[in-house]
Amino acid sequence: MKSIEELQKEVRRLLKERNAIMIAHNYQRDEIQEVADITGDSLGLSQAAAETDADVIVFCGVHFMAESAKILSPHKTVILPRIDAGCPMADMITADQLRAEKLKRPGVPVVAYVNTTAEVKSESDICCTSANAVSVVNSLDSDRVYMVPDKNLSQFVAAHTDKKMEWWEGFCITHEKMRPDELKRVRAAHPDAEFICHPECNPSIVELADHVTSTSGMYKYAKESTKKKFIIGTEMGILYKLRKENPDKEFILASDSLICPNMKLTTLEDVVESLSHMTNTIEVPEEIRIKAKATLDRMLAVPRE
């Protein structure tokens, strides 16, 4: 069996050989983040995918992320090393279900969280990520907005906008597992710590937070804060860079249940295998891609508030 270092060396060699770039989400395994060219949140990764001039994008994340990269860069080969790495929340709404909801709300703009399939994006007006959801909703010329698929992110937005929000009742199975009583116990054990959580958490958790932000927002907040101790309410992969960038600070995971099994599927062996044989490539039908791209482009044009 090869060591992590040997596998990472092989990944680097293959990336060079294929003129490929490796992009990894902040929830990926440590050894994947370590070797990736770019790590980031969903917004940062969409932008990186749109800007790269590499021929091949190896996307270490879940299916909708690689799909977004393909939508933005149709002439590049996009590889998802584990083709079975999906996002249960993204699969909670289909394009048919969205079409039915739109019929109930003629003229109401639809905001699709990036955690959606390309087909759902193609049926939506604009995308958002957890980093820009409030700015995206506020940018719309309508007092009423319909948001899919995350009920928790939608409620977080509803609390930070004057617009009348309606939403689909989807959720992230990982963030939704956190319970207020468990969190209160952790907070009581660390009264000197600040609690930072992701807006995919249930409102019963969000209301207990000192700060609510996307994964990259957490890195920024932890770096700039004068506090020394933080309780983290998001997937455990985030701890890798938080600890690396802040060796003098302490980070405690709010719950042992904060592991996304899909984000943890991808291994270095999978990256080597897929890059060696150029397998697990992502394709999006052109007519869906064009509409989904317009939805993503509208989001990328929204200035941050």
Residues 244-273, interacting with ligand SF4 (CB under 6 A): 260, 262-263
Would you say how long the chain is, in residues?
A: 305
| φ, ψ dihedrals at 34, nearest 5° | -60, -35
Cβ 53 to ligand SF4 shortest distance, Å? 28
State how far the Cα of 111 lies from the Cα of 126, in Å rounded to an integer.
5
Three-class DSSP labels, 36-48: CCEEECHHHHHHH
- Binding pattern for the stretch 60-79 against ligand SF4, x by CB under 6 A and - elsewhere: --x-----------------
Q: Which residue intervals of the chain are DSSP H helices?
A: 4-17, 30-35, 42-51, 63-72, 95-104, 118-122, 133-138, 151-158, 180-189, 203-206, 215-224, 239-245, 268-277, 286-300
- Closest CB to ligand SF4 among residues 67, 200: 200
Residue from 102, 97, 131, 135 nearest 116 by CA: 97
Residues 24-63, interacting with ligand 13P (CB under 6 A): 26, 41-42
Task: Supply 150's token pair.
Answer: 């995350």
- Binding pattern for the stretch 105-144 against ligand SF4, x by CB under 6 A and - elsewhere: ----------x-----------------------------
Task: Supply 128's token pair.
Answer: 């958002």
Residue from 35, 19, 86 nearest 268 by CA: 35
- Closest CB to ligand 13P among residues 28, 122: 28
Name, in order, each residue with C-beta under 8 angstroms of 297's C-beta and a sequence gap of 6 or more. Answer: none
- Binding pattern for the stretch 67-106 against ligand 13P, x by CB under 6 A and - elsewhere: --------------------x-------------------
139 in contact with ligand 13P (CB under 6 A): no
- Closest CB to ligand SF4 among residues 7, 87: 87
Q: How many Å from the N-terminal Cα to the C-terminal Cα in the chain? A: 49
**From the list 130, 152, 154, 280, which residue makes contact with ligand 13P (rule: CB under 6 A)?**
130
- Closest CB to ligand 13P among residues 73, 152: 152
State how far the Cα of 197 lies from the Cα of 213, in Å rounded to an integer.
6
**From the list 46, 129, 132, 139, which residue makes contact with ligand 13P (rule: CB under 6 A)?**
129
214 in contact with ligand SF4 (CB under 6 A): no
State how far the Cα of 30 lies from the Cα of 275, in Å rounded to an integer.
19
Which partner, ligand SF4, ligand 13P, none, binds residue 49 by CB below 5 to 8 Å per kind? none
3-state secondary structure of 291: helix
Cβ 85 to ligand 13P shortest distance, Å? 11
* Rg over CA atoms, the chain: 19
Cβ 250 to ligand SF4 shortest distance, Å? 23
173 in contact with ligand SF4 (CB under 6 A): yes
115 in contact with ligand 13P (CB under 6 A): yes
Residues that bind ligand 13P (CB under 6 A): 26, 41-42, 87, 115, 129-131, 172, 198, 200, 214-215
Contact positions vs ligand SF4 (CB under 6 A) = 62, 87-89, 115, 172-174, 200, 235, 260, 262-263
